[in-house]
């Protein structure tokens, strides 16, 4: 069984993906970490993010064994960098096979990102599109950064989220959008537990 979860930054899709995977005993992949990892390698090598060829080469040889353990991939700056990298079709092509292979493992897998239901796993058993108002997503990201001890201004984060939404939704390569057969879940007024219960009901209904 494959559960595909898409949505914009800070919508809560990653948290839902992890909880659904734990609930069903499935593997979980935050596909955004793949693009963040590519960006991190480029930045570590002082290679401009605009260098598509270098980004593609990194993606083709990416070590995916410690993605979840690399705290450097979680920051806002890396998220911005990943948004640039993810617009490159050759990079997406290089990472596509791994994502699809991940989704095929038994007994099931949960993948979250921005093009899972539309490109990576178009035949997924359940597709969710998780969204929330930009202001609420900025508030969540602001709190997350403060908990990590990072300095952050709410207005700056809100501007970054709006800019990233614009880039992700309007890029020519795999733009962010809900699959035609996805169920949209707006988490603006839901806490983590309520969002999980709502998502679980959708999965149970679609999976049955």
> Taking the CA atoms of the chain, what radius of gyration do you get in angstroms?
16
Can you read off the two tokens belonging to residue 58?
């990194």
| Nearest Cα to Cα of residue 102 among 88, 125, 118, 121 | 121
Q: Is 37 helix (H, G, I), strand (E, B) or coil?
A: helix
CB 91 within 8 A of CB 55: yes
Residue 8 labelled as part of a binding site: yes
CB 86 within 8 A of CB 48: no
Residue 90 labelled as part of a binding site: no
Can you read off the two tokens belonging to residue 23?
């609930």
Pairing of strands 27-30, 109-113: parallel
Residue 7 labelled as part of a binding site: yes
Q: Is 179 helix (H, G, I), strand (E, B) or coil?
A: coil
Residue 134 labelled as part of a binding site: no
Contacts for 21 with CB less than 8 Å, ≥ 6 apart: 27, 28, 109, 110
Can you read off the two tokens belonging to residue 33?
């970490």
Binding-site residue set: 7-15
Binding-site residue set for ATP: 7-15
């Amino acid at each position: 069984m494959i559960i595909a979860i898409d949505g914009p930054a800070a919508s809560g899709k990653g948290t839902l993906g992890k909880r659904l995977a734990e609930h069903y005993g499935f593997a979980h992949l935050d596909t955004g970490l793949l693009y963040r990892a590519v960006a991190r390698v480029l930045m570590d090598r002082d290679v401009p993010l605009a260098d598509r060829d270098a980004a593609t080469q990194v993606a083709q040889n990416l070590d995916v064994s410690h993605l979840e353990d690399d705290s450097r991939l979680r920051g806002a700056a890396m998220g911005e960098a990943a948004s640039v990298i993810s617009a490159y079709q050759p990079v997406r092509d290089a990472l596509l096979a791994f994502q699809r292979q991940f989704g095929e493992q038994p007994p099931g897998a949960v993948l979250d990102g921005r093009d899972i239901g539309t490109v990576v796993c178009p035949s997924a058993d359940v597709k969710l599109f998780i969204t929330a108002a930009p202001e609420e997503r900025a508030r969540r990201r602001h709190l997350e950064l403060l908990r990590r001890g990072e300095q952050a201004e709410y207005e700056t984060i809100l501007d970054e989220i709006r800019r990233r939404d614009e880039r992700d939704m309007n890029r020519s390569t795999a733009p962010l959008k809900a699959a035609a057969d996805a169920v949209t879940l707006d988490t603006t007024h839901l806490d983590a537990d309520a969002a999980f219960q709502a998502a679980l009901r959708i999965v149970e209904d679609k999976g049955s």
